[in-house]
Chains A and B, each alone.
Chain A
Amino acid sequence: MNYFVGAIRWVLDPAHYPGPNGIPVRMAEQLWYTALTLVIACAIAIPIGYAIGHTGRGRAVAVSVTGGVRALPTLGVLTLVALWTGIGLQAPIVSFVVLAIPSILAGAYAGFEAVDRNVVDAARAVGMTGWQVLARVEVPLGLPLLIGGIRAAALQVVATATLAAYVGSGGLGGYLFAGLQTRDYEQMLAGALLVVVLALVLEGLFALVQRLVVPRGVVAQRGNVRTRPSRSRPVMGDPIEEGK
C-alpha cells in the first residue's frame, strides 16, 4: 500500500505539472490520440455499418471480418507500422483505428437491426423514401447502440493509447515505460492510476450521452431485433410501388 500513497503523492507533486512531460500535457496527448482515433474510425466504420444495417446485406462478411480484426494484436500492428513509418503519430493512430473499428461498426449495424421492422414498414407506408427512412427513422432509433459502440471503442482506445509511448510518442504511457526502465514503481503506478481515472471519466461521460440520445417516446423499447434485411419481401402482399 505504500506504493499507492507514493503514487498519489507523485500525482499531487507540483513538480510534475509544468513542461512537456507534465501531467496536463501528457493527459491532453492521451485524450488527443483518443479523439483523433475515434473521429477517423467513425468516418470509416459508420457509413459501412449503416450500409450493412440498411440493406441487410454483407452482415455475415462484416461479422467475420470484425471478428478477425479483433484478434489482431494492437501491439503488433503498432510496432509493425512504426517500423515502416518511423517515430511519429502515424503508427499509434493507425493501430488504434484498427482497434476501434470493430466496436463502432458493430454498433452502427446493430443499431439499425434493432429498429422494429414494423416501424420501418410504417415509415415506408407513409411515403418516406429510402433515404428518408435512413435519416429520419433508422439513424435516430439506432443512435443509442451506435453510441454504445463508440463508447466501447473509446474505452479501449483511451486505455491502449498508453502504448503510444512505446514507439516514442507521448501520452500517459510515458510514465509507465520510464518507470519500468528505472524501476520507479511509484511513477509507474501514478501513470496507471491516471489512465484509469481518465477511462472512468470517459465511461461516465459516454453513459450520460447514451442516455441523452435515446429519442423521447422510445425509451425502454429495446429488443425486437430485426433479422431480415429491410428490403426483403413486405409483410403482406406486394406494395404497389416500393419507395426508392
Chain B
Amino acid sequence: MSWVSSNLGVIAASALAHAALSAPTVVLSFVLSVPIGWLAHRYRLTRGTLLAVAGVLYAIPSIPLFVILPIVIGTSARSPLNVVIALTLYGIALMVRSSADAFDAVERDVVDSATAVGFAGMQRFFRVELPLAGPVLLAGLRVVSVSTVSLVTVSGVLGIPSLGLLFTDGFQRGITEEILAGIVATVVLALLFDVLLVLAGRVLMPWARATARRAPRARTREARA
C-alpha cells in the first residue's frame, strides 16, 4: 500500500480529471439521444435509418476514434475534447436505441388520453411522454454511464489525463499497486456515477419503483402491436 499512501494526491487528481471527462460525456449522450430516439420512435421511416446509423457508430472502435477525431475536427491529438466527443458518439449509439425503446414502452392509450385532455406538441412530450419513458431511459443511461467511465481509461494510451494514466504509468514502471489503485478507483467512480443516476431517478420519478415491476408487460404489448 506504500505507493497508494504516498500518491493519494495523484490518484485524486486523476479521478477528478476522469470525472471531468465522463460527466459531460454522459450528459451530452443523454441530451442528444432523447430527441433522436423520439424521432426513431415516432416515425417508422426514420426508425430504420437512425437505428442503423447508431449500429454502425457503435461498431466503430473507440481507440481508432480517439485517433481519427482530432484529424477530422482539427483539435490537437491530446486534447480532452477528443475523448468527450468520441465517447459521446459512442454513448449516443447505445442510447438512441434505448430511448426509442423507452418511448415505445409508453402506452399508446395514455398518450391519446393526454391529447384528448388538451396536451399538444412540446407540452405532451415534456409532461407525459418523457416522464413515462423515464424508467427505461434511466436504465439505458446507466449502461452508458458505466461504459463511459470504463472507456475513458483507454484515452490513457494517448497520454490524456485520466485514471487510465495510472495503468500506463504503472505498466511502464512496473508498479502493480498503481494499476490496482487505478482499477479500484475506476470501478468506484463508475459505481458513484451509477448511484447518482439512481438517486436522480428516485427524486425525479418517485413512481418509478412501482412501475418498474410492470415493465415486462409493456414490452409484450409492444411486440403484439
Contacts and interface: CB of A to CB of B under 8 A. Distances in A.
Interface of A: 3-4, 67-68, 70-80, 82-84, 155, 158-160, 162-163, 166-167, 173, 176-177, 180, 185, 188-189, 191-193, 195-196, 199-200, 203, 222-225, 227
Contact of B219 (A73, A167, A223): A223
Contacts of A200: 56, 59
Interface residues of B, number: 48
Contact of A225 (B58, B171, B186, B216): B216
Contact of A83 (B71, B164, B179): B179
Interface stretch (B3-11, B145-153, B202-210): B145-153
A3 B163 CA distance: 30
Which of A3, A155, A159, A203 has the most chain B CB within a 10 Å cutoff?
A159
B156 interface: yes
Interface in B177-213: 179-180, 182-183, 186-187, 190-191
A71 B146 contact: yes
A227 B167 contact: no
A83 B177 CA distance: 11
Contacts of A80: 167, 176, 179-180, 183
B223 A75 contact: no
A71 B187 contact: yes
Contact of B59 (A78, A155, A160, A223): A155
A186 to B, nearest CB: 10
A189 B179 contact: no
Contact of B154 (A4, A68, A75, A180): A75
B180 to A, nearest CB: 7
Query: In terms of DSSP, what is the predominant structure of the interface of chain B?
Result: helix
Interface stretch (B36-44, B62-70, B125-133): B62-70
B187 A68 contact: yes
B180 A222 contact: no
B60 A199 contact: yes
B134 interface: no
Given A71-B187, A73-B153, A225-B220, A83 B176 contact: yes
B153 A75 contact: yes
Contacts of B58: 155
6 contacts: A71-B149, A79-B179, A80-B179, A159-B64, A191-B67, A196-B60
Given A70-B147, A76-B182, A79-B170, 14 more contacts: A4-B71, A70-B150, A75-B153, A75-B157, A76-B164, A79-B168, A79-B179, A83-B170, A83-B171, A159-B63, A189-B71, A195-B63, A223-B220, A223-B223
B174 interface: yes
